[in-house]
Amino acid sequence: MSASPSTSVELEAWTDYTRRAQRLAERLWTPDFAVSPEQRSVGISHLARQLMCWTGWSVAHADPRRPMFQRQNDLITPWGGPNAENVYRHARVEPGRRYRIRGKMNSCEEFMLTVRKGFMHEDQWGTVFQTSATDLGIGEGDTFELLVGGTDEGAIPLPAGAAMVTFREYYFDWRPLEPAVFTIECLDDDAIAAVPLVDASTLARQLDRAIDGAEHSIENWNRYMLDRRAEGVDNTFAPPHVVSKGLEDARYGFCFWDLEPDQALVVESTVPDARYWSLQLYQLAWFDLVDLVDRQTSLNHRQVAIDGDGKFRVVLSHADPGVANWLDVGGRRDGLLTFRWFWQNGNPEITTRVVPVRDVDKVLPDDTVRVTPDERIEQIRARRAHLAWRFRT
């Protein structure tokens, strides 16, 4: 006789999952959560996306014998400060196994390939191996094949504790072209055999890990943003930092903005000695990018206009000041501006100042590149066209 629904392991696991999801929603109404009342609907939307992300990873991508790349940190499942230039893909792997990755770069100009213990908001995380397309001699338009695990010459190692292989694809020129394609397969003999159906206890563990992932993400990034803001002074950059256990070649600068509707934050910097650099805007609490598709909220080293003195200036404000290097705060009084510079030699010199929007022109060089309202519309259309290709299904 089969178990009744009231005593079913599967149903108990599902009930626990939904109860914990409800408690996460209620967290948005507690005083220590960094969200204003008008942003709670955005928070519920973010929570729904986190449930989709981590349930997909823990249930659909649970078996290292049947790895598939899960796209994360895209327009659907953002978390933890995604880079506006990236597509992120993760595949479950297991030490002692052998895998083959095949790919075609298409319009992708660079990637970082890492082997990781877990995600940054989890108890076990960190990068245990990293390489890049450049390191591997792979360029835009190339096809390639890589071996992961095992003892073959040139194979990417899978050290003890490795849980996933991750690609960060980079798109510096935002062109409406075909993005990269990657596949992964396990080469072990037992991966060829049919995998048994998921049993009740396995499903229960997967659902438990799924809601763990959502809880850890929601709680961690709220606390992360609160702590980072408390370490600095609004409208100024904190000292550059490297993420512990993160990418070796990555440097970050954080500046939390707090601007009245008639104020602007003007950032002035030397050009980083780096292969890639960018400035990007993020929402508080969930550390998502601000309106990536509909607003100009990021600029990279190929998009920023450099002034005649060799420096660049970027303006953050609610209203469009008519300069090319404008970042639209999206109606948010406060948030996080992140400055990245990767594959670098040293740090740029950065200064900031808050001025009335009406005085922006007074503090910018005479040769500042300016844009008309029609040109701004075309910039947004170009961004949308590229993102539609980059994140196509």
Residues 122, 152 share a domain: yes
pLDDT band (50, 70, 90) for residue 6: low
pLDDT at 232 exceeding the cut of 70 = yes
Q: Is 8 helix (H, G, I), strand (E, B) or coil?
A: coil
The tally of domains found in the chain comes to: 2
Distances (CA, A) of 61 to 93, 98, 206, 391: 10, 17, 10, 20
In this prediction, residues 318-330 reach a mean pLDDT of: 97
Task: Determine the pLDDT at residue 34.
Answer: 66
- Whether residues 144 and 12 share a domain: the answer is yes
Q: Is residue 130 domain-shared with residue 279, that is, in the same domain? A: no
Is residue 281 a contact partner of residue 290, using CB atoms and an 8 Å limit?
Answer: yes
Query: For 6-20, 295-309, 355-369, which range has the lowest pLDDT when averaged over its residues?
Result: 6-20
Check residue 58 and report its DSSP letter.
I
pLDDT of residue 389: 97
pLDDT of residue 247: 67
pLDDT for the residue numbered 126: 87
Residue 161 has pLDDT above 60, yes or no: yes
Asked if the model's pLDDT at residue 313 lies above 50, the reply is yes
How much is the pLDDT for 194? 74
The pLDDT of residue 1 is above 50:
no
- Residues 77-97: tens digit of each pLDDT: 999 999 999 999 999 999 999
Strands of the sheet with 298-300, listed across from one edge: 250-258, 334-344, 274-282, 298-300
Q: What is the mean pLDDT of residues 92-120?
A: 96
> Is 192 contained in some domain?
yes
At 154 the three-state DSSP class reads coil
Structure tokens at 156: 């990417």
Q: Of 179, 194, 223, which residue is a domain's last? A: 223
Give me the mean pLDDT over the 184-211 stretch. Answer: 89
Torsion of CA 228, 234, 235, 237, to 10 degrees: -40
Euclidean distance between CA atoms 111 and 245, whole angstroms: 18
pLDDT at 196: 76
Residue 240 located in a structural domain? yes
Residue 245 pLDDT > 70, yes or no? no
Predicted TM-score (pTM) of the model is: 0.93
Query: Structural domain of residue 63, as residue ranges?
Result: 5-223
Per-residue pLDDT, averaged over 264-288, amounts to: 96
CATH code, 312: 2.60.120.1600
Domain annotation covers residue 97: yes
pLDDT at 3 over 70: no
Please, is 362 exposed, middle or buried when counting C-beta atoms within 10 Å of its C-beta (0-12, 13-18, 19+)?
exposed
307 and 379 in a single domain? The answer is: yes
Domain boundary among 223, 245, 272: 223
Kindly state whether residues 165 and 238 are assigned to the same domain. no
Same domain, 269 and 205: no
Q: Over 60: is that where the pLDDT of 167 sits?
A: yes
Domain assignment present for 228: no
102/37 same-domain check: yes
Q: SS3 of 220, please?
A: helix
Pick the last residue of a domain from 190, 223, 256: 223
Side chain identity, residue 317:
S
- How many Cα atoms occupy the beta-carbon half-sphere of 19 within 13 Å? 7
Domain-located, residue 188: yes
Mean pLDDT across the chain = 93
Q: Is residue 54 part of a domain?
A: yes
Note whether 317 and 263 are within 8 A (CB).
yes
Whether the CB-CB separation of 10 and 17 falls below 8 Å is answered with: no
Instruction: Looking at the structure, tell me whether residues 296 and 361 fall in a common domain.
Output: yes
Do residues 235 and 354 lie in contact, with contact meaning Cβ atoms separated by under 8 Å?
yes
The rounded distance, in Å, linking the Cα atoms of 317 and 312 is: 17
Burial 45-58 (b: 16+ CB within 10 A, else e): ebbebbbebbbbbb
Query: Are both 81 and 37 inside the same structural domain?
Result: yes
Asked if the model's pLDDT at residue 7 lies above 80, the reply is no
* pLDDT above 50 for 103: yes
Give the model's confidence band at 375: pLDDT under 50 very low, under 70 low, under 90 confident, else very high: very high
Residues 52 and 182 in one domain: yes
For the chain, what percent of residues have pLDDT higher than 70? 96
**Range in 98-107, 193-202, 283-292 the model is least confident about:** 193-202
Give yes or no: residues 107 and 142 share one domain: yes
pLDDT in tens, 34-79: 677 778 889 999 999 999 999 999 999 999 999 999 999 999 999 9
State whether 304 and 207 are in the same domain. Answer: no
